[in-house]
Amino acid sequence: MKKKMGLLNFIGVVMVLKFLVYFVLFFTGDCDLVLWWYNKFNKNLDTFKGKVVWITGASKGIGEQIALNLSKHGTKLVLSARSKDKLYQVKNRCIEISEGMLTANDVLVLPMDVTHLSKHISLFDNVINYFGKLDILINNAGRSQRAVWEDIEIGVDREIFDLNVFPIVNLSRIAVNYFNSIGHGQIVTTSSIAGIISAPNSASYNATKYSLHGYFGTLCQEKVNTQIHVTLLCPGPVFSNFLEDSFTAHSGEKYGITQSSTDNRMSTERCAHLSCVAIANKLRESWMAKFPIIPIVYFSLYYPVLSYKLYELYGYKLAQKLRDS
């Protein structure tokens, strides 16, 4: 009987310590617990050396910073976005920051408008013809939105899906077919915390991110026992021009409001670093955001009824403030 009580007491102490560790991490960490563990103890970033990685939306923001981060580890890069000039600026920085590991031939600038789906196959062929292979595709192109639900024109819904969803799915299917033929590969897609819990005033954007989780959640299940891996990156508020370029309720309009330097946002450099750790360790889904976003996500997922009651008490204005400032 004493041995049994001793074992129960030991289990109780372990559970209390586990809770305390979780509590501290919730209030001090800037990512989910699994990603925190890998970033702390097993980054694996040296595995990028010699791999060929294609990044869309690579001319600025998170995409640019991921490219810079990978270049430090000798990764051969394909950089895509609409602006050729900006891509060459990123290329030059990648070569410089690689400290001799990369030459001009190791970074391919491949301008593209991802919404031109008919060109995806020929662009993919360009990558394979140039490097002879592709190891990782990082889908990073996309735009956010700020608009009241009932004011959104249906044309805006179509435009956002035509940018944030269909190009990613189309290019990824081409890549997966190629990965099937060689027996390995990785699809990485930049989603959002808004693809896990809905954010106010972004209905169309939220819907595109939820769609990505549906598409790539299915792909992950279908490839679970293969060497083809799927990673969803879910950043929260990040310092970039994402807010200024956001869709609104009306077609052809941009939100136009810039962020403040005092906003509670994660830096693009930190977001890119955590993203690279998630990619290197082939994590299924990774969240990254400054406090209090990560605890809110955990609470909303595991205690949805209570979280909705709190939302009723404090309203969407607090949620909007947490998101945009």
Q: Which residues are catalytic?
A: 205
* Ordered alpha helix ranges (H), 183-222: 203-222
Q: What is the DSSP letter of 144?
A: -
Is residue 215 a contact partner of residue 169, using CB atoms and an 8 Å limit?
yes
Is residue 258 a contact partner of residue 284, using CB atoms and an 8 Å limit?
no
Is residue 239 a contact partner of residue 250, using CB atoms and an 8 Å limit?
no
Opening angle at CA 192, ends 245 and 156, nearest 5: 45
Distance (Å, rounded) from C-alpha 274 to C-alpha 29? Answer: 12
Widest CA span of the chain, in angstroms? 75
Distance (Å, rounded) from C-alpha 231 to C-alpha 163? Answer: 19
DSSP-based helix, strand, coil % in the chain, nearest 5: 55, 15, 30
DSSP 11-28: HHHHHHHHHHHHHHHHHH
DSSP 230-277: EEEEEE-SBSSSTTTT-B-SSTT-B--PPPPTTS--B-HHHHHHHHHH
**Beta bridge partners of residue 229, listed in sequence order:** 186
Which residue from 112, 195, 214, 205 is spatially nearest to 161, judged by alpha carbons?
Answer: 205
- What kind and span of H or E run contains 57? none
Distance (Å, rounded) from C-alpha 156 to C-alpha 140? Answer: 20
In three-state secondary structure terms, 185 is strand
